[in-house]
């Protein structure tokens, strides 16, 4: 009961003191608010980037594997990878038979081309040659029409499925299905359109056209090495599939024992690890800057509280002479320090969130702050006030009542 009374009475006196010194309170609040604002803005941008990257990895698919000539993490000699034998479509049966957990496999060839329809054109469009099974592996969804078929591949049909950006730009107000476009100067019939997918790892997936891979080889040449996209029945079986697939590919490519693989098996997990390595130090430094700013705000609180103790020495002496305990004085000053910090933290949190959203609005950087982070920001600010208020509170409580009463 006595502690509850001390808290109630200490809080009342602390609020009275804060109102009596409005300018000092505002300046102290601004100091801690700047620290929390900086920290929340940085954390918000970091969380937004992390969420954006996670969403883009999810677009690739946790159960998707890519076999290619080059690894995603280019850690070795580029010329070594460049001189590897090209992958071939003939390797797909070996991949399909390597494990019961392999659901589908499809080659995909890439090139850049110009697309025209009437007087409209788009440059830098990603032309991809693939098979019908690519619809199982990719996260593309057909909006209108149909996807590529095995018959399209076998007959080398000049048909195309176009991305959402091409639909919007080349066919405003029209249904593209059935119309003919010029892809790299050759006519193709549109058989389907894709739903919007957005950007994945910097590549606009809606600026894509899909054509049968044999048609691609006939029109764009056969020198390109394809990537082979593989779908696994469950992410838990990915590593098992990788082991079996590696052995099957080594046999298919005639790689002798003791010689390292002349192909790369890439998984989204590798991109996540690479991302963590590249950004870990940067995020640590950015968060450190925010914490240092908050530390400066905490030092400002300590300084103001020490000044307050000095100014109120006689008041403290009177309260002690009337029977106030040390605990009561300590609680009063701690409540005063934490109140200033909490108010500053709340204002700093609001400004920090607004700043993070502003940055995400005017730049490519994403921003997303979890509710728990907001609560943690205010709580952390109050904790800073408590920690930096301990010394001034202890100093006030330990004043000698007699000496304090003599203070002018």
pLDDT of residue 303: 75
Lowest mean pLDDT among 9-23, 46-60, 262-276, 392-406: 9-23
Lowest mean pLDDT among 49-53, 209-213, 305-309, 368-372: 368-372
Strands 159-162 and 142-145: unpaired
pLDDT tens track for 115-168: 999 889 999 999 999 999 998 888 788 999 999 999 999 999 999 999 999 999
Helices 22-60 and 268-311, interaxial angle, to 10°? 170
| 203 φ, ψ (degrees, to nearest 5) | -110, 125
Q: Which residue has the higher pLDDT, 322 or 194?
A: 194
pLDDT category at 1 given cuts 50, 70, 90 is: very low
pLDDT of residue 404: 61
- Rounded to two decimals, what is the model's pTM? 0.65
pLDDT category at 33 given cuts 50, 70, 90 is: confident
pLDDT of residue 159: 96
How far apart, in whole angstroms, are the C-alpha atoms of residue 381 and residue 316?
Answer: 27
In the predicted structure, residue 30 carries a pLDDT above the cut 90:
no
Name the DSSP letter for residue 226. P
How far apart, in whole angstroms, are the C-alpha atoms of residue 406 and residue 408?
Answer: 6
Q: Which residue has the higher pLDDT, 41 or 218?
A: 218
- For 120-197, where are the alpha helices, taking DSSP H only? 134-137, 150-154, 164-170
Which residue matches tokens 């054509």? 211
How far apart, in whole angstroms, are the C-alpha atoms of residue 263 and residue 70?
Answer: 7
Over residues 371-383, the mean pLDDT reads 73
Q: Identify the bridge partners of residue 104 per DSSP, sorted by sequence position.
A: 231
Lowest mean pLDDT among 2-11, 254-263, 340-349, 353-362: 2-11
How far apart, in whole angstroms, are the C-alpha atoms of residue 206 and residue 208?
Answer: 5
Helices 268-311 and 371-397, interaxial angle, to 10°? 30
How far apart, in whole angstroms, are the C-alpha atoms of residue 14 and residue 165?
Answer: 61
Are 66 and 106 in contact, with CB atoms under 8 Å apart? no
Distances (CA, A) of 99 to 177, 232, 248, 289, 331: 38, 9, 9, 50, 68
pLDDT tens track for 218-262: 998 877 888 999 988 888 888 888 898 889 888 888 888 888 888
pLDDT of residue 23: 64
How far apart, in whole angstroms, are the C-alpha atoms of residue 354 and residue 45?
Answer: 11
pLDDT of residue 176: 93
pLDDT tens track for 276-324: 776 777 677 767 777 777 777 777 777 777 777 776 677 777 777 777 7
| 320 φ, ψ (degrees, to nearest 5) | -65, -40
How many CB atoms lie under 10 A from the CB of residue 199?
14
Please report, for the chain, the start and end positions of each structural domain, with discontinuous segments joined by +: 2-56+272-406, 85-262
Over residues 39-65, the mean pLDDT reads 72
């Amino acid at each position: 009961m006595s502690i509850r009374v001390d808290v109630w009475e200490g809080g009342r006196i602390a609020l009275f003191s804060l109102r009596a010194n409005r300018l000092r309170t505002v300046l102290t609040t601004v100091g801690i608010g700047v620290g929390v604002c900086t920290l929340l803005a940085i954390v918000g941008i970091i969380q937004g980037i992390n969420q954006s990257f996670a969403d883009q990895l999810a677009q690739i698919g946790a159960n998707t594997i890519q076999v290619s000539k080059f690894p995603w993490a280019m850690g070795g000699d580029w010329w070594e990878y460049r001189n590897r034998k090209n992958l071939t479509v003939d390797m797909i049966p070996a991949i399909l038979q390597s494990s019961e957990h392999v659901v589908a496999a499809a080659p995909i060839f890439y090139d850049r081309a110009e697309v025209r329809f009437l007087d409209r054109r788009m440059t830098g469009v990603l032309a991809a040659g693939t098979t019908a099974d690519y619809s199982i592996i990719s996260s593309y969804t057909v909006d209108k029409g149909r996807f590529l078929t095995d018959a399209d591949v076998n007959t080398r049909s000049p048909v195309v499925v176009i991305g959402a950006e091409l639909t919007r730009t080349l066919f405003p107000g029209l249904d593209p299905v059935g119309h003919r476009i010029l892809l790299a100067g050759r006519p193709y019939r549109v058989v389907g359109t894709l739903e919007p997918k957005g950007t994945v790892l910097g590549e606009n997936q809606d600026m894509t056209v899909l054509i049968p891979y044999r048609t691609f080889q006939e029109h764009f040449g056969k020198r390109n090495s394809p990537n082979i996209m593989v779908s696994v029945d469950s992410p838990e079986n990915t590593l098992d599939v990788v082991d079996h697939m590696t052995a099957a590919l080594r046999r298919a490519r005639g790689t002798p024992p003791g010689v390292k693989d002349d192909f790369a098996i890439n998984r989204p997990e590798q991109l996540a690890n690479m991302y963590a390595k590249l950004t870990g130090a940067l995020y640590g430094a950015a968060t450190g800057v925010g914490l240092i700013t908050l530390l400066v705000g905490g030092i400002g609180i300590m300084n103001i509280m020490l000044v307050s103790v000095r100014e109120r020495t006689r008041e403290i002496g009177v309260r002690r002479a009337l029977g106030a305990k040390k605990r009561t004085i300590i609680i009063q000053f701690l409540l005063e320090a934490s109140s200033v910090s909490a108010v500053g933290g709340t204002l700093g949190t609001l400004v920090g969130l607004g700043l993070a959203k502003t940055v995400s609005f005017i730049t490519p950087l994403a921003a997303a702050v979890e509710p728990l982070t907001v609560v943690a920001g205010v709580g952390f600010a109050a904790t800073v006030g408590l920690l930096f208020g301990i010394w001034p509170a202890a100093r006030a409580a330990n004043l000698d009542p007699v000496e304090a009463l003599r203070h002018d």
